[in-house]
Each structure stands twice: as structure tokens, then as C-alpha cells.
């Protein structure tokens, strides 16, 4: 009896830990860093219009600054925050492609990873007049968490469609 107890215990313990949620890091409530390719495209309503997009890598220490910063000010010529932002800029103009991609092998990821970014802020210079709002309340700003637990299991890419009402994000699992 004593000899069979320990092998059974050794087999049952990992199963018990798995079933209790210890095997799922998302259940612990802590972020699980994950980087995703990002695809940005224009909705039909914005096609033919000039739309500028900055994908900005932001770490936890800078998050509140970017969340509160005026988008009207950010998009003015010579803005200091925009000039210094660690970003990838995409310009959609009348005859340009309707989709742009930020693959994981893009050089911008190297400094972003070195700065331990936790978010990619999608900042959009949308046509028309807009009122500044903090965070994602401003239609010109969308915050993408680089956290495995923030997206459905199996997410392989984040797809952003730029609409007149702001960026709309859809996780994509490759199917």
C-alpha cells in the first residue's frame, strides 16, 4: 500500500494544480506579456481621405501621460510629445494602399521591447472636428494591451479598422 501511494500522489498533484488554475497564468491576475503583429486598414467611409496614424509603443510608466494627452495638441505641427514618441507612422492618402501592417520583425519592435512596452497606442488624425477626451474615450486614440490575457486564446494578430468614429480592434486567430 505504501509503495502505490507515492506514485499515485505524484501523478495526481500536477493534475490537481492544473485543474485549480495554477497552470493558467491569466487566472493569477497578472499581465502576461505578448507581442502581436498589428494590421491597420481604412473603413470604406474613410477611403479616399487623408488619414495619418501613429502606432506608439508605451510602457507602464508613460501610460498615464499618453492617456491624458490632448489629441488636438498631439497632431499639431511640432508637438514635442509626438516628435519624441517611439512610433511607427502610417499615412493613408487618396491613392495609397488601404491596409498597412506592423509585423513583429519590423525594426520599431527592437527599441519598444528594450523599453518594456506594455501597450501600443493607436493615435489617429481623423478628418473633422473632435473634442479631446482622456484614454479611449477620444475617438482618435485606441489602446492595445500587449497582454496575452487581454485577448481571446489563440489570438495571432490585432486588426484595427479606422472608422469615422475611431479605431475598432478585432483580435484575429489565423482562421
Measured CA to CA, the distance from residue 108 to residue 88 in angstroms comes to 7
Q: What is the pLDDT of residues 14-47, one digit of tens each?
A: 544 444 445 677 877 778 899 999 999 999 999 8
What order do you get walking across the sheet with 157-163 strand by strand? Answer: 99-102, 38-42, 157-163, 166-172
Please provide the DSSP assignment of 6-19 as one string: HHHHHHHHHHHHHH
What is the reported pTM? 0.84
Q: What is the pLDDT of residues 94-123, one digit of tens each?
A: 777 899 999 999 999 999 999 999 999 999
Please report the domains of the chain, with CATH numbers, ordered by start residue: 1-26 (no CATH), 31-172 (2.60.40.4150)
**Mean pLDDT confidence for 152-171:** 95
Whether the pLDDT of residue 80 is over 70: the answer is yes
Please provide the DSSP assignment of 155-171 as one string: --EEEEEEETTEEEEEE
Q: What is the pLDDT of residue 54?
A: 98
Q: What is the pLDDT of residue 15?
A: 46
Which spans in the chain are helix H? Answer: 2-19, 63-68, 71-74, 80-84, 109-114
Query: What residues contact 3, with CB distance under 8 A and at least 6 apart?
Result: none
The DSSP letter of residue 96 is S
Q: What is the pLDDT of residue 9?
A: 45
Amino acid at each position: 500500500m505504501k509503495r502505490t501511494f507515492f506514485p499515485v500522489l505524484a501523478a495526481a498533484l500536477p493534475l490537481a494544480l492544473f485543474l485549480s488554475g495554477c497552470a493558467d497564468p491569466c487566472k493569477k491576475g497578472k499581465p502576461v506579456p505578448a507581442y502581436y503583429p498589428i494590421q491597420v486598414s481604412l473603413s470604406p467611409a474613410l477611403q479616399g481621405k487623408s488619414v495619418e496614424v501613429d502606432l506608439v509603443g508605451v510602457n507602464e510608466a508613460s501610460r498615464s501621460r499618453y492617456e491624458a494627452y490632448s489629441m488636438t495638441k498631439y497632431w499639431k505641427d511640432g508637438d514635442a510629445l509626438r516628435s519624441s514618441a517611439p512610433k511607427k507612422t502610417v499615412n493613408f492618402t487618396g491613392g495609397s494602399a488601404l491596409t498597412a501592417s506592423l509585423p513583429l520583425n519590423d525594426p520599431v519592435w527592437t527599441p519598444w521591447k528594450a523599453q518594456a512596452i506594455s501597450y501600443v497606442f493607436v493615435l489617429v488624425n481623423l478628418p473633422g472636428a473632435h473634442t479631446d477626451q482622456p484614454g479611449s474615450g477620444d475617438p482618435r486614440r485606441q489602446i492595445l494591451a500587449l497582454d496575452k490575457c487581454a485577448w481571446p486564446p489563440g489570438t495571432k494578430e490585432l486588426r484595427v479598422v479606422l472608422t469615422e468614429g475611431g479605431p475598432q480592434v478585432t483580435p484575429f486567430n489565423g482562421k
